[in-house]
A and B are shown apart, each in its own frame.
Chain A
């Protein structure tokens, strides 16, 4: 097992909704280790997307702390969070989220522009990444001119632009047919084998069990159970995790 990359400690996220408060996440605790393929599972409304937003530093927890490489990012200023999102985390979204006015290559180059990379280096890197996801012949196409599967591969290439430690994938196959989805998952697995830490949010248990090493099952904003791959099977390690959480709480 590699070093600890991400750790959520007693994290809660509450949203005001009129006069009431919606508790999207309640006292969530989990850790992700370097090189792990983690799935966050749960039905709609379980809080998995909220968890992903917090891990991805897109949002701030109402309570609790989030560590990225032992740094408490819940204390970070907006510009530092932007830096985390730009350099240390790569996002892959269900709806691809490519910018329609930019070509495939320009979409991949964009995160590097925000990091101040030179135009030549950006161009070289984008070409390299697009070849990696087998889209070398689609570089100058616009997102509207390519298929959903190809768009998701562009999103994968974009997520790798600044060589982040962690890839966050939110329902990466949600908008794809099963064959194309499988193809996208193959790329994610390939990245994982190359050492990237992958955190995938999904409601598809089969998909999670097929590809992930650890699955965090959320229900109503709380951690319901944790299962871990042992050989070809997944074993429930919830008690152990809860014990750890309690001892952390006492600390």
Chain B
């Protein structure tokens, strides 16, 4: 029997004027925002995570000044970390390996075009493998840097495929000028999905120190813990050591040790803030939509008094009249939600395609059937609830007066 009212509601909705459909905008916009946000959520998280270089779960990063300092990570600190710090951290029992990383900004010239970018150091020996592992580096064309390479660099993927900056793609064998010194490109790295890494110059540590006059300073210490299960303990050990070395008390640290979880939490808290904001906007939009439905249904009851009278004259009980308007109202909400789900999903798909083409990642849409089902049911319920009062007004119409129209 309920199906009858649903079908009847749909038949009536088919004949609604544009005014009724405009009232769905609120629900439509709200649901579109929620669905697109949630569909994109997983993709955004992965994309932002990639920018932070969060991949390995066994790697901690130590940097002076905290991760929120301006400029390249660690570079903005007044009291920088040093090679001695790296050595001391490497000796901790919970640490398997600690490598220094220099992240320096400078100018690079190629094809008579000068641009500014970042260079990252790669250590020698055993630590080289760990550095490649931490940054998830692999070669696309040419070869990786090796020990003893001087005046040689590896470039990120964007220098090769997105050759817009220098007018043409830079390929292995070509020479570039970095800080006015000539370097030969030995290889191009595979796309990592991190905009930073894909647009970076990789150079062996010693030549980079010389080039940038870095002395003993280190921007970031990448630390590999002995065990993935003891990340917290490793973090505490490093913090204790660094407090001692930098002579600071607990709670007043001028450095930061970040675990992958902590970094992911930072990403999540940023995304969470954005999501909360969009959800508030979506909620307001849905509330406005619900009020729109109340208004439409109230007008509809007034306009269709005669129809209500006819229904009563041919045997409709009050409850049956109520059900018809209730379902109609619910279906208004449902249709708004359905259009919202379709648009939201399309925006999600477009967003993911955009992120993938920008980052070269292979993210897929977080297609959540529970979310979509929830959005549709929720839209129906919002519409139906909005229609309760108008439907009650319809049900209690006096048949004789209603028939007069």
The one of A85, A87, A99 in contact with B312, judged by C-beta atoms closer than 8 angstroms, is A85
B311 to chain A, nearest CB (A): 7
| Count of chain B residues with a beta carbon within 8 Å of a chain A beta carbon | 25
Q: Whole-angstrom distance between the alpha carbons of A129 and B14 in the complex?
A: 27
Q: When the two chains form their complex, are residues B11 and A106 in contact, meaning their CB atoms are under 8 A apart? A: yes
B312 to chain A, nearest CB (A): 7
Which residues of A are found within 8 Å of B314, using beta-carbon distances?
85-86, 91, 110-111, 114, 158, 161
Q: Whole-angstrom distance between the alpha carbons of A229 and B340 in the complex?
A: 68
- In the complex, A235 has a CB within 8 A of chain B: no
- In the complex, A115 has a CB within 8 A of chain B: yes
- In the complex, A162 has a CB within 8 A of chain B: yes
Which residues of B are found within 8 Å of A132, using beta-carbon distances?
none
- In the complex, B307 has a CB within 8 A of chain A: yes
- Cβ < 8 Å to A, chain B residues 316-374: 316-320
Interface centre among A59, A100, A114, A116, by most chain B C-beta atoms within 10 angstroms, is A114
A23 to chain B, nearest CB (A): 16
Given that A53-B400, A58-B403 are known contacts, is A97 also in contact with B317, CB under 8 Å in the complex?
Answer: no
Q: When the two chains form their complex, are residues B313 and A85 in contact, meaning their CB atoms are under 8 A apart? A: yes
- In the complex, B1 has a CB within 8 A of chain A: yes
- In the complex, B310 has a CB within 8 A of chain A: yes
- In the complex, A186 has a CB within 8 A of chain B: no
* Cross-chain pair count, CB within 8 angstroms: 70
Interface centre among A78, A82, A110, A162, by most chain B C-beta atoms within 10 angstroms, is A82
* CB-CB nearest in chain B for A97: B310
Q: When the two chains form their complex, are residues A102 and B11 in contact, meaning their CB atoms are under 8 A apart? A: yes
- In the complex, A79 has a CB within 8 A of chain B: yes
B393 to chain A, nearest CB (A): 15
Q: Whole-angstrom distance between the alpha carbons of A98 and B4 in the complex?
A: 18
The one of A59, A97, A98, A114 in contact with B320, judged by C-beta atoms closer than 8 angstroms, is A114
Q: When the two chains form their complex, are residues A87 and B403 in contact, meaning their CB atoms are under 8 A apart? A: no
Q: Whole-angstrom distance between the alpha carbons of A100 and B316 in the complex?
A: 17
User: Using a CB–CB distance below 8 Å, which chain B residues touch chain A?
Assistant: 1, 4, 8, 11-12, 14-15, 306-307, 309-320, 398-400, 403
Apart from A82-B316, A82-B318, A97-B310, what 6 extra A-B contacts exist at CB < 8 Å? A78-B317, A83-B317, A93-B313, A97-B309, A99-B307, A110-B314
User: Using a CB–CB distance below 8 Å, which chain A residues touch chain B?
Assistant: 53, 56, 58-59, 78-79, 82-83, 85-87, 91, 93, 97-102, 106, 110-111, 113-116, 119, 158, 161-162
- Can you name 11 A-B pairs with beta carbons within 8 Å? A53-B400, A79-B318, A79-B319, A82-B312, A82-B317, A85-B312, A85-B314, A97-B306, A97-B310, A111-B315, A113-B4
